Amino acid sequence: MLVVDDNPDDEALMQRLARRQLPDVQTYSVNSVAQALAYLDSCTVHELPRLILMDLYLPRREDGWQLLQLLKTHPLRHRLPVIVVSSSDEQEDIGRSYELGANSFITKPSCRAEWQVYFESLRQYWWDTVTVPPYRPF
């Protein structure tokens, strides 16, 4: 799983909860569009993350939208599930994220207990329920 968030506190919290809820899942964190793209460029097709959690404001929402658009128009990465996790609940942010191919948009939980519930649901849905497609060019 790849976590893209420019807020060090949110990133650290997501890393901790991922280790607890998804102990068998390798989680990588980056804090910018450039770092996310560099990380993905370094992956072979078989090493691509199964899921990307990304903040929308990196630090501007246009940065998040740019990353989302680059992911969803890339021939090898367009199938990667992307969950936008943002402090924003503005309809424009939500709508535009879905238009650009986000698989989900989640408003960031406001306390640790809510984050815990979020990661429990994330594990149950994305690792225990969903079947993701293979990542290879067609």
Distance CA 105, CA 89 (A): 9
Q: pTM of this prediction?
A: 0.93
How many CB atoms are located within 10 Å of the residue 6 CB? 17
When the pLDDT of each residue in the chain is averaged and rounded to a whole number, the result is 93
* Domain boundaries defined on the chain: 2-124
Q: Does domain 2-124 have CATH number 3.40.50.2300?
A: yes
Kindly state the percentage of the chain with pLDDT values over 90: 86
pLDDT, tens digit, 9 for 90 and up, residues 112-124: 999 999 999 999 9
Identify whether the C-beta of residue 86 lies closer than 8 Å to the C-beta of residue 105.
Answer: yes
Average confidence (pLDDT) over 57-78: 95
> Residue 105: what pLDDT?
97
Residue-wise DSSP of 50-92: S-EEE-S-SSSHHHHHHHHHHHHHSTTTTTS-EEEEES---HH
